[in-house]
Amino acid sequence: MPEFKGYIHDVGGPTANFRYGSCDKQKTDGICARRKCLAPTPCKNIKVSHSEYIQLLDELKSLPGVKKVFIRSGIRFDYLMLDDDDTFFRRLVKDHVSGQLKVAPEHCSSNVLRCMGKPDISVYEGFKKKYFELCKKYGKEQYLVPYLMSSHPGSALDDAVQLAVYLKKSGYAPEQVQDFYPTPGTVSTTMFYTGIDPLSGKKVYVPSTYEEKKLQRALLQYNRPEHRATVIQALKKAGREDLIGFGKDCLVRPMNTKGYEKKPSDKQRSSDKINGYGRKNSSVKKTAGPRKKKHK
């Protein structure tokens, strides 16, 4: 293949590092019907190892003409964090990330994460911390791109506001967000159509109207001027007018009667607590990670 330049761009894919059965019992009895292997807390029977994945990456790297082997997405960070041996984590950061790694915390609200079968957001935070520590250790300027989803079953407007506040505190502004769509054969789709969590039998809130989906989606990109009116509408509906204003914790500035952003008064402008959103040197980043160095 003359066009092959020696770069294998993605040995990832869904659950890239969680490649085999979860435990010995699964080999004979199949997967448990009433609980998940990794969430809300890891099952005590789960077996965690990355040795086979490391071997696969080594074999690929040793093929004639291969210079680099990258993993772009699909790492189950919760599975990775369970591994007492951090060899794979170090190898991942040192050798297999091409600038940025996409991972999927998907939300931060415990209500929503429970419905998604995802662990508490603290697990993602632990992963993020170690990822950037290793980047620093190996002198790599690399980023994390978190996938986020709006309007998953279990997500009320309050949960979407919670996610917007989390993003604001993290200083992260997603370029893309995904709105939940039911797909065949998933637990989430069962919740969407029945309003019941099939694992617990409990009722689940399902945002399904166009109007509510629009509000939840806009909150995830609260910093975009085109979403300002919708974000204000969502915050008012959620009873969170405290997040509309000029303070540093506010998500959005108020609008005047003509639909334009209101300007802060001189007194507000001189306050160091003013919301940086809208300024040239906004504190909001588009990737989760350290700022890029300025090149002269």
Binding mask 46-85 for ligand SF4 (x = CB under 6 A): x---------------------------------------
- The verdict on 161 binding ligand SF4 (CB under 6 A) reads no
CB of 37 to ligand SF4, least distance (A): 3
DSSP the chain: -TT--SEE-----TTTT--S-SSHHHHHH-S-SS--SSSSS--TT-----HHHHHHHHHHHTSTT--EE---B---HHHHHH-S--HHHHHHHHHS-SSEEEEEEE---HHHHHHHT---HHHHHHHHHHHHHHHHHTT---EEEEEEEES-TT--HHHHHHHHHHHHHHTB--S--EE----TT-HHHHHHHHSB-TTT--B-----SHHHHHHHHHHHTTT-GGGHHHHHHHHHHTT-GGGBSSBTT-SB--B-TTSSBPPPPHHHHH-TTB--TTSTT-S-BSSBSSPPPPP-
Binding mask 10-29 for ligand SF4 (x = CB under 6 A): ------------xx-xx---
CB of 32 to ligand SF4, least distance (A): 3
CB of 60 to ligand SF4, least distance (A): 28
Q: Which is nearer to ligand SF4, 8 or 39 (CB)?
A: 39
CB of 117 to ligand SF4, least distance (A): 11
CB of 28 to ligand SF4, least distance (A): 11
Q: Which is nearer to ligand SF4, 44 or 294 (CB)?
A: 44
Of the candidate spans 43-51, 107-115, 131-139, 241-249, the one that interacts with ligand SF4 by CB under 6 A turns out to be 43-51
- The verdict on 199 binding ligand SF4 (CB under 6 A) reads no
Of the candidate spans 38-46, 59-67, 96-104, 129-137, the one that interacts with ligand SF4 by CB under 6 A turns out to be 38-46
Do residues 127 and 84 lie in contact, with contact meaning Cβ atoms separated by under 8 Å?
Answer: no
Q: Determine which residue in the list 8, 11, 43, 156 makes contact with ligand SF4, applying CB under 6 A.
A: 43
Interacting residues with ligand SF4 (CB under 6 A): 22-23, 25-26, 31-32, 35, 37, 43, 45-46
